[in-house]
Amino acid sequence: MKTRHILTSVFLAPFLLVACATVQPPEAEETLAEVLPAATEIPAEFQIDEVDTGEVDDGWIATFGDAQLDALVEEAITNNLNLRAAELQPARLIVQQGSPVSRAHR
């Protein structure tokens, strides 16, 4: 009976490994060729020469030129409790690890 389980496992293992394989996404040109009709022309203002790295510049919200949006973002950052807690975390660790009082209670 044990031999049967081992043989079954050996037989199924390659199929399970193949099921976990990943496939690379298609290139942009390939995707465009599949989804757009051949006669489609993309206007020059929608084309870019450089590759998008995915990085976002600091202060990108200011590019909208909207004072109300800027004020809302500032208010959200000021009142974000998670950001406040993260700001205090290094100081909290220093106090916990560096204080003679905290060492005495270990």
**Which pair of structure tokens corresponds to residue 18?**
């193949």
User: pTM for the complete prediction?
Assistant: 0.37
**Using CA atoms, how far apart are residues 13 and 17, in angstroms rounded to an integer?**
6
**Which pair of structure tokens corresponds to residue 84?**
């406040």
Query: What is the pLDDT, as a whole number, of residue 101?
Result: 55
Query: What is the pLDDT, as a whole number, of residue 33?
Result: 82
Q: Please give the radius of gyration of the chain, using alpha carbons only, rounded to the nearest integer.
A: 28
Query: What is the pLDDT, as a whole number, of residue 65?
Result: 94
Report domain extents, the chain: 2-40+61-104
Query: What is the pLDDT, as a whole number, of residue 106?
Result: 54
Positions of the chain with pLDDT lower than 50, given as ranges:
none
